Amino acid sequence: MNKLTKALEECRVKQEKAFIPYIMAGDGGLERLKSQLLFLENGGATAVELGIPFSDPVADGPVIQQAGIRSLEEGTTLKAILNKVMEIKNEVKIPIILMGYSNSIMAYGLKEFTEDCLRAGISGCIIPDVPIEEEKMFSAIKTAGIVLIRLVTLTSSKERITEITAGAEGFIYAVTVNGITGARDGFGGDLGGYLKKVKELSPVPVLAGFGISKPEHVRDTTQFCDGVIVGSKIIECFETGNEAQINELIQASKDLVQK
């Protein structure tokens, strides 16, 4: 079984909610990556979403954009990221999901990317600018046993959500805001109704992401889904040395029971 799928199944069996932090690979230098991953693993994260820095990150807000700029200024490349993950894979046990835009992968070469992901033990990929209609272009990744995570949004119709969730692997990434990533004070509209609708239609776990930055956000959203993804706040905490707040966010997911 895929390592990410297994970790999510273990959450279900333990009746826990999943918590997946996002970090930008190479933010502060790739030499920090091992310690960051081990900190998150030891803190109880279910998996880690590892961002690939990109010059034109259309889905990312200012915090993640700045993290990407810092990483690129450090000279981080996708090749260097995968080499680093290969180097530390026997010490870091937590599943790793690569998040990056299609241009980075195509420039790397799909065959070489897939082979290097396998060597590095990558469990999943999120390619946010690839709709399901174009997913076939990246079928080599799925064929290799690496799950391709699909996204749904607040504006997705029931018919579109049904189409996206059919044949989904790993988990469904339910985007919780209309717009880009970044911490927010709260969420508008019927977020609970939206998450319940996605969960009713999805054969795989549903994790909410975008804008989740406080323990109460974790508790509120996971009433309606299987877990959360937190990005900008995690990056801020690592940058400011406030790792205790990361533990508070992870712990907020541990006191909740699967529904």
Residues designated as active site: 49, 60
- The candidate with the shortest Cα–Cα distance to 222, out of 14, 19, 10, is 19
* 3-class secondary structure, 227: strand
Helical (H) or strand (E) element with 16: none
Say if CB 60 and CB 24 are below 8 A apart: no
* 3-class secondary structure, 69: helix
As a whole number of angstroms, the distance between CA 42 and CA 249 comes to 14
Question: Any idea of the CA torsion for 232, 59, 174, 13, to the nearest 10 degrees?
Answer: -50
As a whole number of angstroms, the distance between CA 121 and CA 106 comes to 20
Q: How many CB atoms lie within 10 A of CB 138?
A: 20
